[in-house]
Amino acid sequence: MKHFPSNRTITYFSSQNQPAYFAELGEVVEIETNDCYDGQVKTEETHREDFDRSRLNPATGPIYINGMQKGDTLCVEVLDIKTGDYGIMMAAPGLGPLGNSVSNSSTKILPIYEDHVEFNETIKIPLQPMIGVAGVAPEEGEVSTALPGTHGGNLDTKDIKAGNKLYLPVFTEGALAAFGDLHAAMGDGELSGTGIETSGVIKVRFTKVPFIIENPVVEDEKFFYFIASADTYEQAIHTALLQTTNQLASWLDFSFEDSYRVLSAVCDLKFSQIVNELVTVRVAVPKSLLPESVYSEQRY
Ligand code: CA
Ligand code: CA
């Protein structure tokens, strides 16, 4: 199995980046990732003011995937996520929605064990590893790995985890995918501004799927999640709802109005993250509602 080390990273997604690694469709590869601080925080004495912010959110890659073209949809099947042996959680004035109530910067380094993160002697947090940054080169320009968007990127969506599939629209030959910012655990919203930030190794398989999407979509056993990011909640929610309603209308062969009714009756709106420069939301659509053909294992 190919192993892509974490010494080749980007902090901007761009179609102009030179590929660092190459993969084939259907191939399983292992990707090593640095934590979102690029390994600069090793002790609790290092606070948010103390490191080089230009190195934040390094994503390992870009990975050129043979056979992917502009206009295709890439499926990233997340097979496994192994975290590092410690996680980092920072608090700092101004960080997160309650940042104004935080008086001093502080850092916690939390040991990660096989199935939990030890917050202290009494609080053990179940290990729920997820990928914070997963993206491809965007349609235009350079996009910081700190930002989410139609190309994926800093989606901070807790369903991007082992066993699930992430679908991304491809804007350039080879897709130029990159991954980083693992979290050992994170609740919806990423409410204090960080997950339990960690390094690690992910195992993924890349395939091409025969449907077109405009924004990232995640699939797990029971749901499709339609993801949208924007600079306001209203715009992110509008985009996610509109995309879901249109997709439902197409899948179910419904009018927009009937699809809109079904959306309201069975779908949940969830916050992925509310702490990045753009916010990310998702709409969960139960697969039980859909005809089998929608989620059959067709791959090519
Ligand atoms: Ca993140
Ligand atoms: Ca993070």
Residues 27 and 156 occupy one common structural domain: yes
The Å distance, Cα 198 to ligand 1 centre, comes to 11
User: Taking all residues of the chain, what is their mean pLDDT, rounded to a whole number?
Assistant: 96
Is the same domain home to 231 and 171? no
| Three-class HEC string of the chain | CEEECCCCEECEECCCCCCCEEEECCCEEEEEECCCCCCCCCCCCCCCCCCCHHHCCCEEEEEEEECCCCCCEEEEEEEEEEECCEEEEEECCCCCCCHHHCCCCEEEEEEECCCEEECCCCCEEECCCEEEEEECCCCCCCEECCCEECCEEECCCCCCCCCCEEEEECCCCCCCEEEEEEECCCCCECCCCCCCEECEEEEEEEEEECCCCCCCEEECCCEEEEEEEECCHHHHHHHHHHHHHHHHHHHHCCCHHHHHHHHHHHCEEEEEECCCCCEEEEEEEEHHHCCHHHHCCCCC
Tokens 């405009």 map to which residue?
214
Residue 204 and residue 268 share a domain: no
State the residue range of the domain holding 80.
2-209
Same-domain pairing of 198 and 150: yes
From the CA of 276, how far away is ligand 2's center (Å)?
A: 10
63 with 139, same domain: the answer is yes
- What is the per-residue pLDDT for 212? 87
Q: How far is the CA of 172 from the centre of ligand 1 (A)?
A: 24
Q: Are residues 8 and 91 located together in one domain of the fold? A: yes
Distance in Å, CA 154 to ligand 1 centroid: 5
pLDDT tens figures, 196-231: 999 999 999 999 998 889 999 999 999 999 999 999
Query: Which ligand has its closest atom nearest to the C-alpha of 196?
Result: 2
Write the CATH number for 186: 2.60.120.580
Q: Is the pLDDT of residue 298 over 80?
A: no
Q: What pLDDT is stored for residue 41 in this prediction?
A: 96
pLDDT, tens digit, for every residue of 42-65? 999 999 999 899 999 999 999 999
Contact 30, 202 (CB under 8 A): yes
The pLDDT value recorded for residue 25 is 97
On the question of pLDDT at 299 being above 50, the answer is no
Which residues are close to ligand 2, an ion, with C-beta < 5 A? Answer: 36, 132, 181, 195, 197
Structure confidence at residue 211 (pLDDT) = 85
Of 177, 209, 241, which one is at a domain's C-terminal end? 209
Number of domain units in the chain:
2
pLDDT digits (tens, 9 = 90+) for 149-208: 999 999 999 999 999 999 999 999 999 999 999 999 999 999 999 999 999 999 999 999
Any idea which ligand is nearest the CA of 135? 1
| pLDDT confidence of residue 293 | 74
One domain for residues 132 and 237: no
Whole-number Å distance, alpha carbon 197 to ligand 2 midpoint, is 5
Q: Rounded to the nearest whole angstrom, what is the distance from the C-alpha of residue 181 to the centroid of ligand 2?
A: 5
Is the pLDDT at 300 greater than 60? The verdict is: no
Separation of 233 CA from ligand 2 center, angstroms? 20
pLDDT tens for 247-273 read 999 999 999 999 999 999 999 999 999
Ligand having the closest approach to the CA of 197? 2
**41 and 171 assigned to the same domain:** yes
Same-domain check for residues 161 and 270: no
Token code pair at residue 230:
């924007």
